[in-house]
Chains A and B, each alone.
Chain A
Amino acid sequence: MNINLTLFAQLISFAIFVWFCKTYVWPPIIAAMHERQKQISDGLNAAEKANQNLELAQQKVEEQLVEAKAQAAQILDQANKRASQIVDEAKDQALTEGQRLKDAAQSDIEQEVERAKEKLRTQVASLALVGAEKILQASVDESVHRDIVDQLAANL
């Protein structure tokens, strides 16, 4: 166990190795490790964010789905309503049209009846005249007895 110059030789080589390690070994390795740590934490953060976004998107999709369903139901409802409305309207129209036609027919009939009656009346008048002529055996001046005949016809 001799103490000698080895002491200082070892001291010098120690200093050189420490200097080398401090200059060339430690900084790049620790920098790379920190860089990786940052990358990993960034990646995790991004993943977390993406997850949140996904959740939000899913929520939105669900909301939209519900809304769409509601809208569809509403539209269906409206369409149904409109359809029944149209049917009702058509029914009403048909009814009024029917009524109108009926009324028109009725008035036609009445007119026809009236006309027939009128015709009948005039024919009855002429018939009566003819009859009276026949009865009287004389020619009755039509123009003289016109008012009598008209009166008769009017009383029919």
Chain B
Amino acid sequence: MAGNTLTTQEYISHHLTNLTFGKLPEGYQRHSADGHQELLLADQWTMAHSAQEAADMGFMAVHVDTMFWSIILGVIFCWSFGRVAKNVTSGVPTGFQNFVEMIVDFIDENVKGIFHHTNAMIAPLGLTIFVWIFLQNLMDLVPVDWIPWLAQQMGVHYMRVVPSTDVNATLGMSLGVFILILYYSIKQKGLGGFAAELAFQPLPKWALPFNLFLEVVGLIAKPISLALRLFGNMYAGEMVFIIISLLPFYLQWTLSVPWAIFHILVITLQAFIFCILTVVYLAMAYDHH
């Protein structure tokens, strides 16, 4: 528990609030923790002081913690893998190169099994998704209070360290995948061919509106399900960790250790699912139906 002053509900909602930087509208009434009130005379870009403020910022806001951690993790991925790539040897591989090659080979095998066309983009995309999401998910295994506590000491009030528990992050990635799906569908089949695929199946031409509705929903469901599956799993996992941390500290390990061990499976699996489904969707974008 992060101090006795917080109630259980406050503790949980504190853990589920992102560090948000965004625009508060003109005329917004801000409430500080010490009861001080401030009326904004103009639009103001600022850090949100509470979950309510973060919500009131609407669309014009950025989750600083999500971006910070996801970019840090992405840079760690690029740096460590890039270093191996720079010094890679076709001779006897050693140390970290072994590990990297194992992952690269794993992704390569899977992509080759699913995606039968020539595209230099797909395998690196799969690798990036797998490793990046895995690293994001891995942050879930850091005890839930450690980094927020450190941030608190440094004067940062909110800190969510698992980017994949932020639906913006997962949706951002699946949106990227969605753009690629559209791009390759149109590139492979032409705009007309892609439209025809949406309009003229599964039923014959007379059922065009029905077909269109069905196929468009199916198409949009791809990125949504991709994002929400990852988000849901990670959010739920984090939630369980938070709830476990409400127990007295000498009992927490009885639940947090088994859950963490189980979660190792979940985070790997979710990263893998996101990666494989991306490849499957792109293979479908290539295939003519």
Contact = CB atoms under 8 A, between A and B. Distances in A.
Contacts of A14: 128, 132, 172-173, 176
Contacts of B128: 14, 17-18, 21-22
Q: What is the interface of chain A mostly: helix, strand, loop, or mixed?
A: helix
Contacts of A16: 74
B167 A29 contact: no
A39 interface: yes
Contacts of A18: 124-125, 128-129, 176
Contacts of B172: 6-11, 13-14
A4 interface: yes
A137 interface: no
A128 B28 CA distance: 196
> How extensive is the interface on chain B, given as a class?
35 or more
Interface string A5-33: 11111110111111011101111111111
A28 B88 contact: yes
B63 to A, nearest CB: 4
Interface stretch (B100-108, B149-157, B279-287): B100-108
Given A21-B124, A33-B104, A4 B74 contact: no
A110 B8 CA distance: 159
B132 A17 contact: yes
Interface stretch (B30-38, B75-83, B189-197, B208-216): B75-83
Nearest to B65: A6
Interface residues of A, number: 33
B173 A24 contact: no
A35 B129 CA distance: 25
Nearest to A1: B167
Which 9 A-B pairs have CB atoms at the shortest separation, nearest pair first? A10-B172, A6-B168, A35-B90, A26-B124, A22-B124, A32-B88, A4-B61, A11-B172, A6-B63
Interface of B: 18, 20, 22, 54-55, 57-63, 66-67, 70-71, 74, 77-78, 81-82, 84-86, 88-91, 93, 100-101, 104-105, 108, 120-121, 123-125, 127-129, 132, 163, 166-169, 171-173, 175-176
